[in-house]
Each structure stands twice: as structure tokens, then as C-alpha cells.
């Protein structure tokens, strides 16, 4: 099964740029931008720093790491570092979630952030064979002003690979800003961006309903609390709105007690459209490959179910139709081999280009 997972071509749809930074990358940033800041400067201390009490504590740690990103070169380095790690897992396409307001509010000009993202995406494709798409997102607790600034950035200085507009952060902070978020999402959608908010990660089904009805979500980040509302489960089954499920993340931020308790198998049994993702992998001590392996070893998913999850990641992505078809063909080829067969082919010309 491990060999099968290694060879399976994959797409990663729920991966935060800052959260993708490996421990060596975070240490490099911390040493590059001394003094000050809460981020430790040694590996043992940093790994302990990444042990989270709950989601608000995780949000604080994430903010501290994000504060280390102070120059456009740091942004580009994060993208290329993520691509290097993804390439080693046979990930051919990734949609990276970027929270540009965390950079621009510290004085980095929006145009320079965008240039760095463009450089990073070009380098990721050229050096690692990984295509990158970007989602600009808002941390819900930052409120309406940050949302409007993020929208302005997306419309005035969009990276070439910008495809989506998202909403993350602490879900319980959203209701007071509901109208502002709805207005901003409506404008982003009108400009051609896809709506991909987080919802139902740390709050109940009402947050998912608001994402669907108020923000016109095309995909839902996490969405695991949908199971508390049979009407919502029925709606998601009927519409096949994809859920970006991140099991290890949910365990690390204490949304579920342990991996064996994760609702992924039930979501699949309910006939929902599920994709498998890693969220903030170095912070959670995981990778997309590890998520697939644990889905098999801990949650009991079969080889066919893993292949279907890989297909779902491609189908739910914002890749163009030709690239989707090429990647789906590669997945089918690997999935059709007898168990134990080795020797996956390299990336197709369509995905390389």
C-alpha cells in the first residue's frame, strides 16, 4: 500500500503557504530576521512550539510564523520550498492558500507580494514540475477592513495563477462581519474567482450553510461538522460540493480526539464528495502522502478508495480540462496495475507545461 500511495499522482487543494514551511525553512526565516518574535530558533524548541492546545493556540502560532515573512524573497522561497516537498510526494498540482494581508499590513507592497508569488509559481513549475494555483484568503477574525484590502489586492494586483478566494481563521469570529464577507465574496465571484471558504472545521453546520448560501461556496474547506445536520448532509450529497478534508489537522487542533475517530469514512459512506489534504503539514507533522497512508492503515480505506480520493482532488481542482484529463489518466494507469507492481511513469507533457 505504501508503494501504491507513493506512485499515485496527486493534487493538493488545501495547503496554506505559511503552513507549508518546513521546520528548516522556519528556522532559516527565524535566523534571517532576528531579533524579536515568538518563534524558537532551535529545532527541538520549534517542534515543541508546534504542539497545539486548541485551535486559537494554533492560530497564534501560525501568526507568529507568518510574521517572519518580511520580504518578497521570503514569499517566493515559501512557494518553491512547498513545491520541492510536494514534488517528492508525486503531487502534480497544488492550490496554495495565501493570506496576503498578513504581509501587506506589515508594509510589504501588494505588487511586490504578487511578483514574488509569480516568481515562486514559475520556479515551482520549472524546477520541480509542480503546477501552482493560488487562493487569496481572509482570516475571519481580521474583519471587514482586511477582507476589502484582500479583495483590492486580488483585483488590482492578481498573481497570474490566482484562481480562488477564501475565508479561514477562527470561525466563531465571523458572524459580526457577515455582511462585509458576503459583499467581498460577491465581488470576487463577479471578477471570476472561485469561492472556497473554510467552514465546519471548529464550528457547527450553520457555518457551512452560511458558506454555501452567503458566500456561494464551490468547495468547503474541512466541512466535517456537516454530519451533525442530516439536511445538510443530504444537500451536500445531492449537489456534490467538494469537501477538503484534512484528518491530521483536525486531530492536532483538537477538533477530533484522535485519528481513529475521524469522520472521513462516514463522510464517504454518506456519498459525499471528499478530497484528502494536508492543510499545514510541517506544523502537524504530516504530509499529503502520510494522509493517504493513514487513511488506509488507521481508517481502513481500500486501494480503490484512495485512488478515488486522488481522482476527486483532480476533479475538484481549478485545473483546465486538458490538464485534468491527463492527470486522471495517470491516476487510472497506476490504479489499474496489479498490487505490487512498480514503476510509475513521470509527469505527462500536459502537466509539465
How far apart (Å, rounded) are the C-alpha atoms in residues 150 and 236? 29
Between CA 213 and CA 251 the distance in angstroms is: 28
User: What strands, in cross-sheet order, belong to the sheet with 274-276?
Assistant: 198-199, 220-222, 243-245, 274-276
Across 28-130, the runs of DSSP E, i.e. the strands, are: 91-98
Q: Are strands 194-195 and 131-139 parallel, antiparallel or unpaired?
A: unpaired
The active-site residue, picked from 12, 95, 171, 201, is 201
Count of beta carbons in the 10 Å neighbourhood of residue 335:
18
Question: By the 8 A CB rule, do 155 and 191 touch?
Answer: yes
Closest CA to 108 of 71, 134, 78, 80: 71
Asked whether the beta carbons of 12 and 288 are under 8 A apart, the reply is: yes
Give the containing element (helix H, strand E) for 193.
Answer: none
* CA-to-CA separations, 195 to 102, 122, 155, 211, 250, in angstroms, rounded: 20, 24, 14, 9, 22
List residues bridging with 332 in a β-sheet.
none
Question: Do the Cβ atoms of 134 and 79 come closer than 8 Å?
Answer: no
Q: How many CA atoms lie within 13 A of 241 on its CB side?
A: 27
Rounded Cα distance, 46 and 316, in Å? 34
Is 171 known to be catalytic? no
Q: What is the CA 18 to chain-centroid distance, rounded?
A: 11
Active-site residue set: 201
Amino acid at each position: 500500500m505504501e508503494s501504491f500511495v507513493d506512485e499515485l499522482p496527486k493534487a493538493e487543494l488545501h495547503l496554506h503557504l505559511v503552513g507549508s514551511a518546513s521546520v528548516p525553512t522556519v528556522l532559516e526565516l527565524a535566523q534571517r530576521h532576528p531579533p524579536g518574535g515568538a518563534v524558537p530558533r532551535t529545532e527541538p524548541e520549534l517542534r515543541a512550539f508546534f504542539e497545539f492546545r486548541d485551535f486559537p493556540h494554533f492560530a497564534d502560532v501560525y501568526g507568529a510564523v507568518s510574521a517572519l515573512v518580511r520580504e518578497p524573497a521570503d514569499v517566493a522561497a515559501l512557494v518553491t520550498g512547498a513545491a520541492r516537498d510536494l514534488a517528492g510526494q508525486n503531487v502534480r498540482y497544488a492550490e496554495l492558500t495565501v493570506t496576503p494581508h498578513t504581509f501587506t499590513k506589515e508594509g510589504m507592497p501588494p505588487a511586490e507580494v504578487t511578483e514574488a508569488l509569480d516568481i515562486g509559481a514559475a520556479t515551482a513549475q520549472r524546477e520541480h514540475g509542480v503546477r501552482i494555483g493560488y487562493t487569496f484568503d481572509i482570516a475571519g477574525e481580521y474583519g471587514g477592513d482586511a477582507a476589502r484590502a484582500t479583495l483590492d489586492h486580488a483585483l488590482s494586483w492578481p498573481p497570474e495563477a490566482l484562481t480562488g478566494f477564501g475565508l479561514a481563521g477562527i470561525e466563531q469570529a465571523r458572524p459580526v462581519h457577515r455582511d462585509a464577507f458576503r459583499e467581498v465574496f460577491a465581488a470576487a465571484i463577479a471578477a471570476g474567482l472561485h469561492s472556497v471558504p473554510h467552514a465546519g472545521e471548529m464550528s457547527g453546520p450553520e457555518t457551512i450553510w452560511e458558506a454555501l448560501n452567503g458566500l456561494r461556496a464551490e468547495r468547503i474547506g474541512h466541512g466535517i461538522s456537516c454530519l451533525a445536520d442530516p439536511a445538510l448532509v443530504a444537500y451536500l450529497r445531492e449537489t456534490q460540493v467538494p469537501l477538503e478534508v484534512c484528518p491530521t489537522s483536525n486531530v492536532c487542533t483538537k477538533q477530533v480526539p484522535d485519528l481513529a475517530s475521524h469522520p472521513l469514512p462516514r463522510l464517504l459512506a454518506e456519498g459525499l464528495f471528499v478530497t484528502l489534504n494536508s492543510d499545514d503539514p510541517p506544523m502537524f507533522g504530516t504530509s499529503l502522502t502520510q494522509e493517504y497512508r493513514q487513511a488506509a492503515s488507521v481508517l481502513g480505506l481500500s486501494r480503490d478508495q484512495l485512488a478515488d480520493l486522488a481522482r476527486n482532488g483532480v476533479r475538484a481542482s481549478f485545473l483546465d480540462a486538458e490538464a485534468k484529463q491527463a492527470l486522471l489518466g495517470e491516476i487510472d494507469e497506476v490504479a489499474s496495475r496489479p498490487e505490487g507492481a512498480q514503476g510509475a511513469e513521470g509527469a505527462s507533457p500536459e502537466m509539465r507545461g
